[in-house]
Chain A
Amino acid sequence: MRWVEYIVFLVIVVGLARPVGLYLARVCQRRRTFLDPLLRPIESLLYRLLGVCPEQEMSAGVYLASFLLLGAGCALLLFLLLMFQRWLPGGPADAHLTTPMTADLAANTAVSFTTTTTWQAYAGESTLRYLTQVIGLVAQNFLAGAAGLAVGFAFIRGLARERSATIGNFWVDLTRSLLWVLLPLAFIGSLVLIWQGVPLNMAPYTVVHTLEGRTQIIAQGPVAALEFIKNLGTNGGGFFNANGAHPYANPTPFTNFLGMLAIAVLPASLMITFGHVARRPRAGWLLLMVMVALFIVGLVVCDRAETAPPPQLAGLHLEGGNMEGKEVRFGVGESVLTAVVTANTSTGSYNSMHDSYQPLGVLAPLACMLLGEVVFGGLGTGVYSIIIPALVGVFLGGLMIGRTPEYLGKKITSAETRWIALYALLTPMVVLVLTSVTVVTKAGRAGLVTNSGPRGFTEILFAYASCMANNGQTMAGLSVNSVFYNATTVIAMLAGRYGLAALALALAGRFAARRRLPFTAGTIPDDTLTFGALVFGTILVGAALCFLPALALGPIVEFLRRPW
């Protein structure tokens, strides 16, 4: 049955790519949509409030500066809200807020939620006020998601335009992403979640007298306001500690499936948007197919590892796959699907505990994050996280045939190659350096409170891979609410968000200024199976060259050492 689910998922994602992608293209190009009568007045009102002239376009530098300013402003606001949350009215009662909101935790959380990472060094139900979750986190889920989509639009324009000094207006893209995409979808999606059982209330924690006469206290809150946008904006940080595994956050297999679609459909469709706006639809479809192929590889590896009876439990006469840290309503199938979808899309909304996965089961999501979120990817950011590795492939292909490489008729000269190389190296640099520092310092090893050995190493590598990919999921055995981890993960989150976006926008600005050359016999076609294989291979080989040694110390050695 789980295979049916996997296949239906992929069919829906690919099937929706064209209609949704063309809609997103209309949003990107400010053309008419069916929502215009409702949204145009709100749009112009917002421009007037913000003091934005929508016709005034920006160069890549100004676009990046605006993106950074918004991020800085949001992080500051969220930081203040977190620091002063104890004066906010409403639940939960102080007695339940057992984790102190220290300055380092507040700063970490502020950066985490404004970079769509939503890495959580705290447990929601024992740390945050309801109003912090709504005014702080829900708002940032929208804003950070929309800002990512805006940068994706700008990158697409950069590739599509010719001899242009500008790549769009950030504030316009931000506003339109919110109004035309995130707000309406999140509203409908949240209502569906509530219908399925996700609570939305401001009530104090419920005191329950159970059937056996015990007292159970159940955390409540405005859960539904967060739980859909966290997926739609590819953020992923949950209301509760157990995130998507908590029955209030994700009560049925249907809500889980819907959440996975909310994560994957927009980033997948953006490939079609890209192809349409750049007037090379087949190039967009090809990249989508590369994504699907990579996705299937990850899914099969993870599925095989988790559905097999755990070898460690052999001899205990148990029946079934690896259910430690998994929920019965999802079973192994929907847990694995969720692990692979969320790991591929910079969304940390796991519904099972990755720390209890088998070695190869955890290798799959870890590798997906280390590849750089190329499969679907984060909302908007996924556009450049697949296209830039594809450009590496173009460059290698150019070397092989001895021609100046070009993509979509745009020449890739040494200046662009420098940005592309920096982009490709930033993730391994940040992840591997931070992992090494953590492994050799006492403060770093102090986080290993649950597991040790190769599993402990994997936990640390996973943490930085997750933060660098702006993913936010965790192997939760690692104890990360310390000054050391709160500081080091912030470095990875900032580099993963603004470092990569700066390089991508710089490239977009350069490409926008370029002419598109006509295709000749010497051009590597960008829409053939050969090119797809080149991109697929470049991505895998590139990541393997960077990360195989690290992976060998973690999941691979653990796999080889398991009892047979």
Chain B
Amino acid sequence: MSESDEPPETWAAPPPSQAQLREQIRPAILSVLVLTVLTGCVFPLLLLAIAWPLFPRQAGGSLVRRGGAVIGSELIGQEFTRPEYFQSRPSAAGSGYDGTASGGTNLGPNNPKLVNGSSDFAGVRQLAEAYRQRNGLAFDAAIPVDAVTRSASGLDPHISLANALLQVRRVARARGLGEEVVRRLVTDHLERRQLGFLGNPRVSVLELNLALDQMEKKKSEVRSRNSED
């Protein structure tokens, strides 16, 4: 190209003609349909075909069965109110741990309702009082913040180690177990940081309570065997 043929510095491509635009309608319609089939049908089906043989438990929702009945999911928290069970965090999902209504309180930090509650809603202050009372703690005993705040999903399956340890005495008493035994069970169920640095150390409440039930069952079996002897 010689110098004179060069477009001037301000040259710009001409605006598209109508024919040029009309040409694009066919590929547009076809790509919406074809690529939707590829990404919305072929992709998930292929994923299903490979995932189910490889990870059937996870793909099915990591359900936990006891005596044939489904008693929960490893991943989804559930509500515990009896003193012989470790208790989950407070929950804002539905009326509490509603697996069809995940969500948090969305209360702003300066919203008075968050701290002081309302007629039908326990604030952090009430939750802290109740927590201390339930676990026989002094009124000014420090408690971990996760025990009195609601999670983002309302289905948080975990509590912090400190939260679990504060509940040990209550659980041990309600079950007639030694505190040391229950404490060891808690520390045995501590999930550490993944790869050593990811996330927070935590305890799964459902797994811990299942282990408690299991331990008691074993103990009562031993006891009944002893009394038969």
Listed in ascending order, the chain A residues whose CB lies under 8 Å from chain B are: 1, 4-5, 8, 46, 49-52, 59-62, 65-66, 69-70, 72-74, 77, 96, 123, 125-126, 134-136, 138-139, 141-143, 163, 165-166, 170-171, 174-175, 178, 183, 186-187, 190-191, 194-201, 203, 205-212, 214, 216-220, 222, 224-225, 240-242, 245-248, 251-254, 256-257, 309-310, 312-313, 316-331, 333-335, 350-353, 355-359, 411, 413, 415, 450-451, 453, 455, 475-477, 509-510, 512-515, 558, 561-563
Which of A205, A212, A224, A325 touches B104 (beta carbons < 8 Å)?
Answer: A325
Interchain CB contact under 8 A, B149 and A212: no
A242 touches B59 (CB 8 A): no
Q: Range of interface residues on chain B?
A: 35 or more
Q: Nearest Cβ distance between residue B193 and chain A, in whole angstroms?
A: 7
Query: Is A214's CB under 8 angstroms from B79's CB?
Result: yes
CB-CB under 8 A from B11, the residues of chain A are 513
| Nearest-Cβ distance from residue A382 to partner chain B, whole angstroms | 21
B10 and A200 form a contact (CB under 8 A): no
16 contacting pairs across A/B (C-beta < 8 A): A46-B38, A125-B101, A201-B61, A218-B100, A219-B99, A242-B152, A252-B199, A317-B141, A323-B149, A328-B151, A333-B200, A334-B200, A355-B107, A355-B108, A415-B10, A450-B111
Nearest CB of A to B74, in Å: 7
Shortest beta-carbon distance from A99 to chain B in Å: 11
Interface pair A330/B200, CB less than 8 Å apart:
yes
Q: Measured between alpha carbons, how far is A193 from B46 in the docked complex, in Å?
A: 15
Known interface pairs A178-B38, A330-B200; A246-B102 also in contact (CB < 8 Å) = yes
Chain A residue at minimal CB-CB distance from B48: A200
- When distances are taken between beta carbons in the complex, the residues of chain B under 8 Å from A513 are 7, 11-13
Inter-subunit contact A353/B106 (CB<8 Å): yes
Chain B residues 50 to 69 lying within 8 A of chain A, measured CB to CB, are 50-52, 54-55, 58-63, 69
Q: Return the CB mask of B5-37 against A: 1 if under 8 Å, else 0.
A: 011011111111000110011111111111110
Q: Which of B48, B81, B125 has the most CB of A within 10 A?
A: B48
Cα of A333 to Cα of B106 in the assembled complex, Å: 19
| Contact of A139 with B9 in the complex, beta carbons under 8 Å | no
**Residues of chain B lying within 8 A (CB to CB) of residue A194:** 47, 51, 54-55, 58-59
A61 in contact with B15 (CB, 8 Å): yes
Stretch among B158-166, B169-177, B178-186, B215-223 lining the A interface: B158-166
- With A317-B142, A320-B145, A415-B12 known, 13 other A-B pairs at CB within 8 A are A1-B197, A5-B198, A69-B28, A72-B28, A216-B97, A242-B152, A247-B77, A328-B146, A353-B152, A356-B109, A415-B10, A453-B110, A558-B110
Q: Please pick, from A195, A216, A317, the residue contacting B143 in the complex, using a CB distance under 8 A.
A: A317
A247 contacts B40, C-beta separation under 8 Å: no
Query: Is there contact, CB below 8 Å, between B72 and A331?
Result: no
